[in-house]
A = this chain, B = another copy of it.
Amino acid sequence: MPEKVLIYSRFPKAMMLRIGERYDLMDAAGKPPNEMFTPDQLAGVRAMITAGGTPLGAGMMDMLPALQAIVCYGTGYDGVDLAAAASRKIVVGNSPAANAASVADIAMTLMLAVTRRLLPADDYVRSGNWSAAKPSPLMRPQPGNPGRRIGVYGMGEIGRRIAARAAAFEMDVAYTSRSKHDVPYRYVPSLEALVEWCSVLMIAVRAGADTHHVIDAAMMKKLGPDGYLVNISRGSVIDQAALVAALADKTIAGAGLDVYEKEPHAPDALTAFPNVVLTPHVGGHTIDSHIAMQDCVMANLDAFFAGKPLPHPVT
């Protein structure tokens, strides 16, 4: 008999096909598991798959008395109450680096699109305004990348790949992180100093209580009227209301966002701006990235059910 695994978050079915070939999946599809399954059914669950950003606290864990492993699909685990898991000796695993290239690519896509005004440019062609030679103030030349200062906040697997890509665009790359890494980019010890210095701020930091709303109104003022903000980490890192205000009064030049405070949702106040580029949390959303994340999930589950340590543990 295949082992039972609870699917806690809402995932497209295609993402679970391979995992379902090896395990007996109980899909709660984003709903509270006790509404979908009986206590008896839940009592047999020893492992679950979740999306790292989905809140998963002690109360939920208590509904699963036999739970011993939480496996995150993706690199994030910010929604998981690690202390509560530890107190019950539940192991937690993730998919480190599996989606890093894919997320770094979306970061660069958003940066290039917003700084080169790609959406207004495409609209200028499609609307016929270009053919009609209608002048467009949005089509005025913008600063280019060579020499442009890009600050990478967070130097994990994704931050490294963003920095490598930015360097190839001849940009001046610096970063901040809790500690200096062995990377060929300038280290700036404080986020404030990095934001003062840069004209593009790339948020690639791991989300958590310590990074909640660290990008606030004061930081956006430091970024300045020529500055762009790109976030591919978690919406919680930015004070989204302050971002809307900063875009409205031109405190910053624009933003590229793949993540939002409440997902799936981008407020009307944000979607109304022409100088933002918005993607629906698709950073890790490539075929290769999904295969790599599924490899990590399966390796974690296989090891757990074999009584071995997780190969990709959250530490």
**A residues in contact (CB < 8 Å) with B:** 14, 101-102, 105-106, 108-109, 112-113, 116, 118-119, 121-122, 124-126, 128, 130-131, 133, 139-147, 164-165, 167-170, 264-266, 271, 277-280, 282, 285-290
- How far is it, in angstroms, between the C-alpha of A262 and the C-alpha of B280 when the chains are bound? 35
A122 touches B264 (CB 8 A): no
Known: A113-B118, A116-B286. 11 other contacts (CB 8 A): A101-B144, A105-B116, A109-B118, A118-B277, A124-B280, A131-B265, A139-B280, A141-B289, A144-B287, A167-B168, A168-B168
Q: Are B144 and A105 in contact (CB under 8 A)?
A: yes
CA distance A109 to B167 in the complex (A): 15
CB pairs A–B below 8 angstroms (10 shown): A105-B145, A108-B169, A113-B113, A119-B119, A122-B277, A130-B280, A131-B264, A141-B290, A143-B286, A165-B168
Given contacts A122-B277, A125-B279, contact A287 B142 (CB under 8 A): yes
Complex CA gap A193/B274 in Å reads 42
User: Quick one: which of B164, B266, B286 contacts A125, CB cutoff 8 A?
Assistant: B266
Contact A279 B141 (CB under 8 A): no
Residues on B with C-beta less than 8 A from A101 are 144-146, 169-170
Within the assembled complex, what's the spacing in Å between the Cα atoms of A315 and B136? 36
> Which residue on chain B has the smallest CB distance to residue A290?
B141
Name the contact of A288 in the complex, choosing from B119, B131, B146 (C-beta under 8 A).
Answer: B146
Q: How far is the CA of A271 from the CA of B122 in the complex (A)?
A: 9
Q: Tell me whether A279 and B121 are in contact in the complex, defined as CB-CB below 8 angstroms, given that A141-B286, A143-B287, A264-B130 are known contacts.
A: yes
Flag if B126 contacts A278 (CB, 8 Å): yes
